[in-house]
Amino acid sequence: MKHQDPLFDYISSARLPTRWGQFTIHGFVEKHSGQEHVALSYGQWQEDDVVPIRIHSECLTGDALFSTRCDCGAQLEKALQNIVEQGKGVLLYLRQEGRGIGLLNKIRAYHLQDKGMDTVEANEHLGFDADLRDYSICGYMLDCLKVSKVNLMTNNPRKIQALRDLGIEVVARTPIDHGITDDNRIYIRTKTQKLGHEFDPHLLK
């Protein structure tokens, strides 16, 4: 593991048994903000291998509280399952709640959505951009884990470009169309129409 970087620090690693299999959890911190992030790795690879990965931004309501207003929890579980089934992979878990606006502001945005706004309109009404997430730490995390070529599990083309800008070779993209419900269908349509996410259109009917 790399320990010296002007912007980020690797902290430590430990065994993390899960219901899908035994991962290793790695801790990282942004030096300027103190924000903490983790990576979960599974299996082994050579430095030139194409490694399945998922970049997942924290969603307390979806990941931990089982909300079906979004598809985050279902995508998180499917990504971990896919990694184990493929025998190797990495999940980068970034502490960027609510596309970077924070938990309490996300609840405020939910309140506006309850009144008829979509997710982009609600964020903008609160004075935020539609998506404030920053993926710059991903390059450092993947470098520490000796990953340079990836098969990225995502529906979001912005993540592909973000990794390429960091010098990571995105060899392939695997869609992760999971967790679509009657409660979040409009939310997912908004992500498709306004944020450029790519979902199977048949799933959104």
pLDDT of residue 180: 78
* CA dihedral (144, 101, 18, 80) positive or negative: negative
178 in a known ligand binding site: no
Give how many domains the chain has, as a whole number.
Answer: 1
How sure is the predictor about 117, in pLDDT bands with cuts at 50, 70 and 90? very high
Contact 11/29 with Cβ under 8 angstroms? Answer: yes
pLDDT of residue 58: 96
Q: What is the pLDDT of residues 69-111, one digit of tens each?
A: 988 999 999 999 999 999 999 999 999 998 889 999 999 999 9
Using CA atoms, how far apart are residues 57 and 131, in angstroms rounded to an integer?
11
Strand partners, 90: 41, 53
Q: Is 49 part of the annotated catalytic residue set?
A: no
Domain that holds residue 20: 8-95+135-183
Does residue 46 lie in a domain region? yes
Contact 135/142 with Cβ under 8 angstroms? Answer: no
Nearest to 94, CA basis, from 49, 59, 69, 124: 59
Those residues whose C-beta lies under 8 Å from the C-beta of residue 57, and which sit 6 or more positions away, are 72, 94, 96, 97, 99, 100, 133
Does residue 17 lie in a domain region? yes
56 in a known ligand binding site: yes
Rounded (10°) CA dihedral 28, 195, 111, 33 = 20
116 in a known ligand binding site: no
Those residues whose C-beta lies under 8 Å from the C-beta of residue 202, and which sit 6 or more positions away, are none
Does residue 205 lie in a domain region? no
CATH number at residue 164: 3.40.50.10990
54 in a known ligand binding site: yes
Q: What is the pLDDT of residues 133-185, one digit of tens each?
A: 899 999 999 999 999 999 999 988 889 999 999 999 999 999 987 767 888 77
Q: What is the pLDDT of residues 21-59, one digit of tens each?
A: 999 999 999 999 999 999 999 999 998 999 999 999 999
- Torsions phi, psi for 93 (to 5 deg): -105, 105
Catalytic, out of 133, 177, 185, 200 = 133
How sure is the predictor about 201, in pLDDT bands with cuts at 50, 70 and 90? low
Predicted TM-score (pTM) above 0.85:
yes
pLDDT value at 189 more than 70: yes
55 in a known ligand binding site: yes
Lowest model confidence (mean pLDDT) among 12-21, 123-132, 183-192: 183-192
Using CA atoms, how far apart are residues 149 and 162, in angstroms rounded to an integer?
14
Does residue 105 lie in a domain region? no
Q: Is 143 part of the annotated catalytic residue set?
A: no
Does residue 190 lie in a domain region? no
Catalytic, out of 49, 131, 143, 164 = 131
pLDDT of residue 3: 54
- Percent of the chain clearing pLDDT 90 (strictly above): 72
Does residue 128 lie in a domain region? no
Does residue 34 lie in a domain region? yes
Using CA atoms, how far apart are residues 188 and 154, in angstroms rounded to an integer?
13
Does residue 201 lie in a domain region? no
